[in-house]
Structure 1
Amino acid sequence: MAYDVIVVGTRVAGAATAMLLARRGLRVLAVDRARFPSDTLSTHQVQPPGVARLRAWGLLDPLLEAGTPMARTARFDPGPAVLHGAYPGPDGVLSPRRRLLDALLLDAARAAGAEVWEGFAVDGLRFEGGRVTGIEGEAKGGGRREAAAAVVVGADGKHSTVARAVRAREYRTRPSTSGALYGYFEGLELTGGEMYPRPDRLAGVWPTNDGLAVVYLGVPRAQFDAARRRGIPASLDGCGDLGERVAAARPAEHVRGTVDLPNTFRVPYGPGWALAGDAGLVMDPITGQGIGNALRDAEALAEALAAGLGGAARLPAALRAYHRGRDRERRAMYRITTGMAAFRPDRFGALLYRAIAGDPAEVTRFLGAISGAVPPRDYFNPVNLLGTVTGWRPTPRAA
């Protein structure tokens, strides 16, 4: 059987893309080497724009009913001042366990009509005349299989097999400069999310399922091994009282960590193929944007593929618009993320934080900007920041 689209990788980006395409009536095959439900290394955060997408797709209520807490407020404590406020709009930040979120999305793809092959490792693409025409691989337990499609979507992560096979061009690449540790703790009371940027680390703690809190610690790459040896609680000294609170909580799982944190854009389409999620654009997890970016890609790519394959638009033009929209939307947050991951001095930040700490509306705008609910390019442009700190605004020109 030939499919309209084969999606390689069925975690957030892939499962959501398969679901949305199947809901539009396309014949979809989704494959993954993993079996579900299963866990994966993740900051867990679904920022407000991602939460809004889950709501629109009918998937937010199942997550909430499964006990996923919604953090509608956050404490941002960079040292010079403490910002505490609410996120803009009706939604906050969700931090679901990945075994829950990924399985929910994949089940929704199946319910929409997508065929799913779990435990299937793609090890090659099929080409005809320079165009991708399908996949081939091996099921766990043995047995070669292949499948054909008009388009193969690589949603298979930062080390994407699809991206490598098509030699997707990389650009705006920045080196990996940080390491990340993740731990789960029981008995850590939270009223919302908490973030503690420091010159040599960034800590964040968020409520997740089963009454647990997930603690993230980002450090310069050169300090990663030392932080892992010390452990998360001891590495939180200087982050308010967070270190003491985490030390008093009960570790629920072993601490996980990685320095495999690349930053790069890839051209996300070509003859017979497209990329979504980390396969197309990956950035350091220090700003917690990965899941939201994956959901945005799924929505935009599904729209482009449905239009191109359904005849409403020429497929190359639709995919080119997907590419341009992705880059336009992500460029500012990518700069912010790579700067934070490099732990560059933030001289202007101290002025900004002191200026807005006593203004609840401005704190909400700031939280919106760092979560993507307010366009970062609008909030963090020099004119707006200068006006926020000094009260100066440019005089409008006369008509």
Structure 2
Amino acid sequence: MPESRQHFDAQNFDAIIVGARVAGTAAAIFLARQHRRVLLIDKASFPSDTISTHIVLSGGARVLGQLGVLEMLEQSGAVRFSRMRSIGPDFDYRGDLVHDGLDERGLCLSRIIMDAKMIEAARSFESIQFRDRLRVTDLIIENRAIAGIRAEDSTDRHEFRAPLTIGADGMRSTIARRGEEKLGAFPRIDVPCARAYYYAYFDGVDESRLGDELVTEFESSPGAGNLVCRCEQGRIVAATAFDAVELHSFRIDLEGNLRRYLDRSFAVGRILEGATLAGKVFSSGLLSNTCRDPAAAGALLLGDAGLHVDPLFGQGHSLALMSAAIVGDLAPQWFDASRGETIPAIALAEFTRRRDAELMPFYKASVRVSRELALDKGTRMAHRAAASEQWAADEMIRFAQMLTPRGSFPSFRFARLMAKASRAA
């Protein structure tokens, strides 16, 4: 045996998933339901927190329903928000997510609980082997394809092989970086976010001021944005977004500045009046919207590894879950065609096509808003149109909640209403 392989123990799986948070656990469950043998690993130990939005929009909640984990998450404290409200300098509208016999609620839950519960759900499948505190060190490359990973833990080095390797390991993905270095795979496009973000938990907000509603605000001051929603244990999670050039001065007094920035809002400051800060203030720092080509021979990228989006709209969870659902749909044909060999890039290209068709409209809408501090004219006209008619508010909120089928927003009548709002302006 070559010297470089002496300390490796080889194991074979149908799929290796690197990253055991929302995207990775969802993909693992979809594959396990198809009786695939899955290795699910993460370099972290669990339960553990991570900087992230807490919001699962309605499109992502649908996937959680398909996975059969919604009830478990609710029992763990997740709040299902049944209304959404959007506020700006010249618009204020809301819409229901429970209507006409449909339950399209999203949910809000901290990552430390959500990730732990998703791992618990994944581990209930005998065909999923879960290992934490296992760090990927390299990819196995054979015939210009990714055939598995090399990894290490506190005791040894290991080698794992599979026809499909999934990188669900975040915006600084090791799978993406190694694939790019070794194969020129996963090319990326970055669009810097114009804003920085901070969030914290608050206690003492009565339900008369905030019930089961997600509230988003835009331009309460130049470039600012805010988000507030109820989460577990009766707490509120509140986030503020502001011009990234203010980041250094904001850090001088985190608690004081968070309060000041939230207080200059249209409604969030009043909601939080008298509330007590619970714990520390969290920051996402300076971010970019990042889109990678997610497919290479033998490998896919999911979640933030493939699409990392400005957190202003809380889309991250839902993009991850909806991408994992596409894997679940397509995986049977991949494995049937591979016959145990590495799945070729031409087969995995259908994942890219489906992801881009179904999810890129939402991603591009966020990029359009996040790269500039002021809302562009089209976005502002859309919000104003939504504020003028309830049916338009419902359309806008369905799009914001990632419920709109591809190509159906804006509808013809919504576009006419936007044109009317533009003429009135």
Partner of 2:166: 153
Q: Secondary structure at the match of 2:88?
A: coil
Write the distance in 2 (CA, Å) between the matches of 1:357 and 1:49.
22
Partner of 1:310: 336
Q: Secondary structure at the match of 2:236?
A: strand
Write the distance in 1 (CA, Å) between the matches of 2:288 and 2:410.
24
Matching residue within 130, 139, 156 for 2:144: 130
Moved more, 4-13 or 316-325: 316-325
Distance of aligned partners of 1:297 and 1:386 in 2 relative to their CA distance in 1, 3 Å threshold: closer
Q: Does 1:70 align with 2:80?
A: yes
The 4+ residue runs of structure 1 with deviation greater than 4 A are: 312-315, 348-352
Write the distance in 1 (CA, Å) between the matches of 2:168 and 2:42.
10
TM-score by length of 1: 0.91
Partner of 1:331: 360
Moved more, 56-65 or 3-12: 56-65
Deviations 1:147-194 (A, max 9, x none): 121221111011100011111333443123221101111112312111
How far residue 137 of structure 1 moved from its aligned partner, in angstroms, is: 1.7
How many percent of aligned residue pairs carry the same amino acid?
28
Matching residue within 79, 92, 105 for 2:89: 79
Write the distance in 1 (CA, Å) between the matches of 2:384 and 2:319.
30
Task: Map residues 186-265 of structure 1 onto 2, 5 A cutoff.
Answer: 186-189=203-206, 190-191=210-211, 192-198=213-219, 199-228=222-251, 229=253, 230-265=256-291
Q: Secondary structure at the match of 1:37?
A: coil
Partner of 1:395: none
Matching residue within 86, 89, 105 for 1:92: 105
Distance of aligned partners of 1:71 and 1:46 in 2 relative to their CA distance in 1, 3 Å threshold: same
Moved more, 170-179 or 181-190: 170-179
Matching residue within 294, 314, 319 for 2:348: 319
The answer as to whether partners of 2:297 and 2:348 remain within 8 angstroms in 1 is no
Q: Does 1:177 align with 2:194?
A: yes
**Which residue identity is paired with 1:206?**
C
How far residue 329 of structure 1 moved from its aligned partner, in angstroms, is: 2.0
Q: CA RMSD in A?
A: 2.3
The answer as to whether partners of 2:186 and 2:296 remain within 8 angstroms in 1 is no
The answer as to whether partners of 1:305 and 1:318 remain within 8 angstroms in 2 is no
**Which residue identity is paired with 1:25?**
H
**Which residue identity is paired with 1:94?**
L
Q: Does 1:268 align with 2:294?
A: yes
**Which residue identity is paired with 2:395?**
R
How far residue 306 of structure 1 moved from its aligned partner, in angstroms, is: 2.9
The answer as to whether partners of 2:171 and 2:308 remain within 8 angstroms in 1 is yes
Moved more, 183-192 or 27-36: 183-192
Write the distance in 2 (CA, Å) between the matches of 1:32 and 1:118.
5
Partner of 1:396: none
Write the distance in 2 (CA, Å) between the matches of 1:310 and 1:25.
13
How far residue 379 of structure 1 moved from its aligned partner, in angstroms, is: 2.3
Structure 1 unmatched runs, 5+: 393-399
Distance of aligned partners of 1:135 and 1:344 in 2 relative to their CA distance in 1, 3 Å threshold: same
Number of residue pairs aligned between Structure 1 and Structure 2? 390
